[in-house]
Amino acid sequence: MNIQDRFGYWFAGVVDSKGYFGKGPVFEIKLRHDNQDVLERIKNKLGFGNIHISWQNSTIKNAKPQAIFRVSAIPDCAKIITILDVYTLQTKKHSEYEVWKQIVFIKVTDYTGPQNYVALKDLEEKLQETKQYHP
Protein backbone atom coordinates (compact mmCIF):
# COMPACT_ATOMS: atom_id res chain seq x y z
CA MET A 1 0.00 0.00 0.00
CA ASN A 2 1.45 3.33 -1.05
CA ILE A 3 0.61 6.03 1.48
CA GLN A 4 1.87 9.55 0.91
CA ASP A 5 2.89 11.64 3.91
CA ARG A 6 0.13 14.18 3.42
CA PHE A 7 -2.56 11.48 3.68
CA GLY A 8 -0.73 9.53 6.41
CA TYR A 9 -0.41 12.46 8.80
CA TRP A 10 -3.96 13.61 8.08
CA PHE A 11 -5.29 10.07 8.62
CA ALA A 12 -3.44 9.76 11.94
CA GLY A 13 -4.99 13.05 13.05
CA VAL A 14 -8.48 11.85 12.17
CA VAL A 15 -7.84 8.60 14.06
CA ASP A 16 -6.51 10.53 17.07
CA SER A 17 -9.72 12.52 17.13
CA LYS A 18 -12.44 10.13 15.97
CA GLY A 19 -10.89 6.66 15.81
CA TYR A 20 -11.98 3.64 17.83
CA PHE A 21 -10.02 0.46 18.50
CA GLY A 22 -12.17 -2.44 19.67
CA LYS A 23 -11.78 -6.08 20.50
CA GLY A 24 -12.50 -8.54 17.79
CA PRO A 25 -10.46 -6.68 16.47
CA VAL A 26 -12.36 -3.83 14.93
CA PHE A 27 -11.30 -0.35 13.87
CA GLU A 28 -13.80 2.46 13.33
CA ILE A 29 -13.97 6.14 12.57
CA LYS A 30 -17.30 7.79 13.37
CA LEU A 31 -18.27 11.17 11.95
CA ARG A 32 -21.48 13.06 11.50
CA HIS A 33 -23.43 11.83 8.50
CA ASP A 34 -22.88 15.13 6.71
CA ASN A 35 -19.12 14.38 6.82
CA GLN A 36 -19.48 11.02 5.10
CA ASP A 37 -17.38 12.28 2.20
CA VAL A 38 -14.34 12.26 4.53
CA LEU A 39 -14.90 8.57 5.22
CA GLU A 40 -15.38 7.89 1.51
CA ARG A 41 -12.01 9.53 0.88
CA ILE A 42 -10.38 7.29 3.51
CA LYS A 43 -12.04 4.15 2.15
CA ASN A 44 -11.05 4.98 -1.43
CA LYS A 45 -7.44 5.71 -0.49
CA LEU A 46 -7.05 2.58 1.66
CA GLY A 47 -8.99 0.31 -0.70
CA PHE A 48 -10.81 -1.55 2.08
CA GLY A 49 -13.34 -1.09 4.87
CA ASN A 50 -17.07 -0.43 4.86
CA ILE A 51 -19.20 2.62 5.54
CA HIS A 52 -22.64 2.52 7.05
CA ILE A 53 -25.03 5.04 8.57
CA SER A 54 -26.15 4.70 12.17
CA TRP A 55 -29.29 6.22 13.62
CA GLN A 56 -28.44 4.68 17.00
CA ASN A 57 -28.82 7.93 18.96
CA SER A 58 -32.13 8.83 17.37
CA THR A 59 -33.83 8.69 20.79
CA ILE A 60 -31.71 11.62 21.96
CA LYS A 61 -33.19 15.02 21.25
CA ASN A 62 -31.50 16.67 18.26
CA ALA A 63 -29.26 13.64 17.70
CA LYS A 64 -27.88 13.39 14.20
CA PRO A 65 -27.06 10.21 12.28
CA GLN A 66 -23.45 9.08 12.13
CA ALA A 67 -21.42 7.74 9.25
CA ILE A 68 -19.12 4.94 10.38
CA PHE A 69 -16.06 3.62 8.55
CA ARG A 70 -15.40 0.11 9.84
CA VAL A 71 -12.56 -2.35 9.34
CA SER A 72 -12.92 -5.83 10.85
CA ALA A 73 -11.07 -8.16 8.46
CA ILE A 74 -7.83 -9.23 10.13
CA PRO A 75 -5.62 -8.61 7.05
CA ASP A 76 -7.09 -5.10 6.70
CA CYS A 77 -6.57 -4.39 10.41
CA ALA A 78 -2.92 -5.35 9.83
CA LYS A 79 -2.78 -2.76 7.03
CA ILE A 80 -4.03 -0.10 9.46
CA ILE A 81 -1.08 -1.03 11.67
CA THR A 82 1.40 -0.52 8.83
CA ILE A 83 0.09 3.02 8.46
CA LEU A 84 -0.16 3.97 12.15
CA ASP A 85 3.28 2.58 12.94
CA VAL A 86 4.70 5.17 10.53
CA TYR A 87 2.24 8.03 11.14
CA THR A 88 2.00 7.76 14.89
CA LEU A 89 -0.89 8.82 17.06
CA GLN A 90 -0.20 11.72 19.39
CA THR A 91 -2.97 11.42 21.98
CA LYS A 92 -3.86 8.95 24.73
CA LYS A 93 -5.39 6.87 21.95
CA HIS A 94 -1.84 5.72 21.16
CA SER A 95 -1.93 3.44 24.23
CA GLU A 96 -5.22 1.91 23.00
CA TYR A 97 -3.64 1.38 19.60
CA GLU A 98 -0.62 -0.41 21.06
CA VAL A 99 -2.85 -2.93 22.88
CA TRP A 100 -5.13 -3.33 19.83
CA LYS A 101 -2.06 -3.97 17.68
CA GLN A 102 -1.10 -6.89 19.93
CA ILE A 103 -4.61 -8.34 19.52
CA VAL A 104 -4.31 -8.09 15.73
CA PHE A 105 -0.88 -9.77 15.75
CA ILE A 106 -2.23 -12.72 17.73
CA LYS A 107 -5.18 -13.00 15.33
CA VAL A 108 -2.87 -12.87 12.29
CA THR A 109 -1.00 -15.88 13.64
CA ASP A 110 -2.59 -19.12 14.81
CA TYR A 111 -4.57 -17.99 17.84
CA THR A 112 -6.55 -21.17 18.44
CA GLY A 113 -4.28 -22.51 21.19
CA PRO A 114 -5.22 -22.10 24.86
CA GLN A 115 -2.26 -19.80 25.57
CA ASN A 116 -3.30 -17.39 22.85
CA TYR A 117 -6.91 -17.52 24.00
CA VAL A 118 -5.86 -16.43 27.49
CA ALA A 119 -3.56 -13.77 26.03
CA LEU A 120 -6.40 -12.40 23.89
CA LYS A 121 -8.76 -12.19 26.86
CA ASP A 122 -6.09 -10.38 28.89
CA LEU A 123 -5.43 -7.94 26.06
CA GLU A 124 -9.14 -7.28 25.55
CA GLU A 125 -9.43 -6.39 29.24
CA LYS A 126 -6.35 -4.19 28.99
CA LEU A 127 -7.85 -2.46 25.94
CA GLN A 128 -10.96 -1.59 27.95
CA GLU A 129 -8.79 -0.28 30.80
CA THR A 130 -6.86 2.03 28.47
CA LYS A 131 -10.14 3.63 27.42
CA GLN A 132 -10.90 4.78 30.97
CA TYR A 133 -10.51 8.42 31.89
CA HIS A 134 -7.51 9.03 34.14
CA PRO A 135 -6.89 12.70 34.97
- pLDDT, tens digit, for every residue of 49-83? 999 999 876 566 777 889 999 999 999 999 999 99
Q: Decide: residue 30, CB within 10 A, 0-12 exposed, 13-18 middle, 19+ buried.
A: middle
Q: What is the pTM of this model?
A: 0.91
The Cα–Cα gap between 63 and 116 comes to 41
Asked if 25 and 37 count as a contact pair (C-beta separation under 8 A), the reply is no
* Separation CA 60–CA 51 (nearest Å): 23
Domains (range + CATH), the chain: 5-130 (3.10.28.10)
Q: pLDDT (tens digit, 9 = 90+) per residue, 13-58?
A: 999 999 999 998 999 999 999 999 999 999 999 999 999 999 876 5
